[in-house]
Amino acid sequence: MSAMEHIAELVRWFRKVRTVVLPFAVAFVAGHFTCATVDAEEVMPKHVNAETLKSVRAGLDYLAATQGSDGAWGDEGGRAYPVAISSLAGMAFLAHGNSPTRGKYAPQLQATIEYLLKCSQPSGLLTGPGQDSGQPMHGHGFALMFLASVYGMETKESTRNRIKEVVDNAVALTAKGQSGAGGWTYIPGSGDEGSVTVTQVQGLRAAHNAGFTVPRGTIEQAVQYIEKCSTPEGGIRYSLSSGGGARLAISAAAVATLYNAGEFDAPVADRCLDYVWRSFKATDGWSKGGGHDYYCQLYASQGFYMAGDKFWDEYFPKTRDALLQSQDKGDGSWAGDHIGKAYGTSIALIILQLPYKYLPVFQR
């Protein structure tokens, strides 16, 4: 068998078992031949095609080109939320298999880490003066998730120690800021609502995955809070005190929250997943109403992915095609609702790269 035939056989085997691998070169040296290489991007996860790869590269290049000198992002409506958006952009680079020291976008990741570490306040809150529009807990949750996810990849001891201290303090702030009902809202300890609650649980899940101590009671109370917000149709209302019917975006976020909390088989998770799935199937296209389509899709994609192939195989190809069609072919960005391109591009890239399984926080 020739060298190239040997390589082709390996590629077919990798595809058969659907193994996800880091970018690599396969080299063989034996007898009468020297070496040959194969681009790992030829070995693609299920439902990922060449057009997807091209789209992802363009999106990542857009984020790399638009990062500020301080390591942050914040364009258009996103200027009010630099901590949240910068954390999402960092997750998009991690989802591509980059680390702070390896990969094409390692410099961008390192700059993001430095920016977010500087946003750590004495209280443990991850925000900056006048940032995140006076409602810092969204950004805090996203930043906690990113820093915890990158902690194990950081090889520089001094930076790693700084991340550990910041994450420990951020976990303590989240636990302290939980409401009596079990949720969180925009300001620590001031109430509760669904969209902030999901960011805190995902941040805590990422911290737990990285080996940090997370109070078990905090997660249990958060699950109970979501159960209390459940509506007769199976979805989740905006907050416990708001009343009213289910909101699709919040319900999608709740599915991801419950799965992050390990509640894969809980009746409330099953009902909520069913509600979100029925709602998605009832409307075609990317838009799911409410003016928060990217937010809704970010969490719905995670929920469907963790729920298994029955949901993912139907959801992802349509969503992939919608994202490829809506991408700005000039600069590689996505519009991102009313918040801005950095926000939309980061979310689109996270969704498109879920099949690569680089981020434990988004895996079952």
List alpha helices for the chain, DSSP H: 3-17, 50-66, 82-94, 106-118, 137-151, 157-176, 194-209, 216-228, 248-260, 267-282, 293-307, 309-326, 341-353
**Residue 112 above 90 pLDDT?**
yes
DSSP character at residue 102: S
pLDDT at 213: 97
DSSP character at residue 230: B
DSSP character at residue 188: T
Q: Tell me the two tokens of residue 94.
A: 């991690």
Who contacts 41 (Cβ-Cβ below 8 Å, separation ≥6)?
23, 53
pLDDT tier for residue 190 given thresholds of 50, 70 and 90 = confident
pLDDT at 89: 98
Helix (H, G, I), strand (E, B) or coil at 326: helix
Q: Is residue 64 within 8 Å of residue 331, measured between CB atoms?
A: no
Domains defined for the chain, CATH in brackets: 1-43 (no CATH), 44-362 (1.50.10.20)
CA 228 to chain centre: 26
**Residue 232 above 60 pLDDT?**
yes
pLDDT at 165: 98
Q: Residue 126 pairs with which residues in a beta bridge?
A: 120
Q: How far apart are the first and last CA of the chain?
A: 40
**Residue 351 above 80 pLDDT?**
yes
229: phi then psi, degrees, rounded to nearest 5: -85, 0
**Residue 210 above 70 pLDDT?**
yes
| pLDDT, mean of residues 14-33 | 35
pLDDT at 60: 98
Integer Cα distance of 188 and 190 in angstroms:
6
Largest Cα–Cα distance in the chain? 75
Range 114-148 burial, b when 16+ CB lie within 10 A, else e: ebbbebbbeebbbbbeebbeebbbbbbbbbbbbbb
pLDDT at 130: 55
**Residue 174 above 90 pLDDT?**
yes
pLDDT at 132: 54
pLDDT at 250: 94
pLDDT at 329: 94
Q: Tell me the two tokens of residue 26.
A: 């396969």
Closest CA to 116 of 151, 143, 90: 143
- Please calculate the CA angle 338-293-278 and round it to the nearest 5 degrees: 165
pLDDT at 191: 85
Q: Is residue 53 within 8 Å of residue 44, measured between CB atoms?
A: yes
pLDDT at 13: 42
Average of per-residue pLDDT values in the chain: 87
pLDDT tier for residue 22 given thresholds of 50, 70 and 90 = very low
Helix (H, G, I), strand (E, B) or coil at 109: helix
Q: Is residue 127 within 8 Å of residue 177, measured between CB atoms?
A: no
pLDDT tier for residue 68 given thresholds of 50, 70 and 90 = very high
- Please calculate the CA angle 232-237-243 and round it to the nearest 5 degrees: 85
Who contacts 85 (Cβ-Cβ below 8 Å, separation ≥6)?
72, 73, 74, 78, 339, 340, 342, 343, 346
Range with top average pLDDT, 4-18, 38-52, 221-235: 221-235
Integer Cα distance of 135 and 298 in angstroms:
21
The amino acid present at 70, given as its one-letter code, is D
- Window from 67-81, 255-269, 310-324 with minimum mean pLDDT: 67-81
Q: Is the pTM of this model over 0.85?
A: yes
pLDDT at 78: 60
Integer Cα distance of 33 and 22 in angstroms:
26
| pLDDT, mean of residues 163-173 | 98
Integer Cα distance of 255 and 110 in angstroms:
31
For residue range 276-332, list pLDDT tens digits in order.
Answer: 999 999 988 889 877 899 999 999 999 999 999 999 999 999 999 999 999 999 999
| pLDDT, mean of residues 163-189 | 95
pLDDT at 189: 83
pLDDT at 338: 86
**Residue 14 above 50 pLDDT?**
no
**Residue 7 above 70 pLDDT?**
no
DSSP character at residue 21: -
Q: Is residue 93 within 8 Å of residue 356, measured between CB atoms?
A: no
pLDDT at 75: 73
